[in-house]
Amino acid sequence: MNIGYPCVNYTIKRSTNNTFRLSSYSHNKVRETIQKNIDHFWDILRFNLDNDIYFFRLGSQFIPFASHDVFDFNWQHEFRDQLSELGRFIREQKIFITMHPGQYVVLNSPNEDVVRRSIKELDWHAELLDIMNIDGWIQIHIGGIFGDKQSAIQRFIENYRRLPARVRRRLALENDDRLYNFSDVKQISERLNTKIIFDIYHHKLNPSEHSLEEILSYLKSPVIDYSSGDKYGRHHDTIHLDDFLEFYTVSEPYQPKIMFEIKDKEKSVLKAINHIKSKKTLKTLFD
């Protein structure tokens, strides 16, 4: 099923986000950690297939410090074969992968150095996905406002054009919970012809005039970040099935890919999948 979770699996205690402190940086540390992330990634993918999960978000620490100035390690060469093999498996099994670089990627910052580092960060994500030769998306937010939203958007558009083609091909814009809602993202995405990842909880906190069904039918094959929480923006610790099933019933006709951003990760995904399957089984029995 196309319900996934990000980065970490607590059941099998595996993470694609193993890292280390900058103070213990060394060639060997980088090599070891990347190897660990690759190994854990394999374990997670196998767990996922056993459990009918075909969607996963790869952690942005997969190559730790990859865009940092001190970084000096030819991971592309050293891990090319392993990464191609991983990629082949992902293609064959038709697994969909996304990545979501952190809050430090601010493409529309007025600070040129922040922009430069953001581009560098996005570029290694794209390079990794290219080496794996898979159709992975890289999702980011628009960024800050800096006192004037229109010029912030204009700056986003200008800086987008500076991105290497391999980044642009994969970039997906996501609505955030305070500054850029779905309608802002839609407008920018139409200017730039980028993909969109729709975050349902951000939409609840920072709504636009569009209804859920309008949004789902607008997005050709919707990829959705799904989470829930209270009115203060605190995330729930586990899936609230009633809410989710209500959303799922509306969205199912659009065949969305749904990323659960929920603290207990795969546990919530399994709850949801098992529930949906048992409902389908019941339906078949009674039809």
- Residues binding DNA (CB under 7 A): 6-8, 15, 17-24, 33, 57, 59-61, 64-68, 99-104, 106, 109-111, 114, 117, 121, 143-147, 177-179, 199, 202, 225, 233-235, 259, 261, 263, 265
Of 107, 179, 93, nearest to 138 by C-alpha is 107
Q: Specify the residue, 217 or 230, whose C-beta has the smaller distance to DNA.
A: 230
Say how far apart CA 183 and CA 181 lie, in whole Å: 5
Say how far apart CA 184 and CA 142 lie, in whole Å: 9
Pairing mode, strands 8-9 and 14-15: antiparallel
CB of 225 to DNA, least distance (A): 7
Q: Specify the residue, 154 or 217, whose C-beta has the smaller distance to DNA.
A: 154
Token pair 């083609």 in the structure block, residue: 165
Say how far apart CA 258 and CA 5 lie, in whole Å: 8
Q: Specify the residue, 26 or 217, whose C-beta has the smaller distance to DNA.
A: 26
Say how far apart CA 16 and CA 218 lie, in whole Å: 32
CB of 285 to DNA, least distance (A): 36
Q: Specify the residue, 81 or 158, whose C-beta has the smaller distance to DNA.
A: 158
CB of 284 to DNA, least distance (A): 34
DSSP assignment of 154-201: HHHHHHHTTS-HHHHTTEEEE--SSS--HHHHHHHHHHHT-EEEEEHH
CB of 34 to DNA, least distance (A): 12
CB of 192 to DNA, least distance (A): 20
Q: Specify the residue, 92 or 113, whose C-beta has the smaller distance to DNA.
A: 113
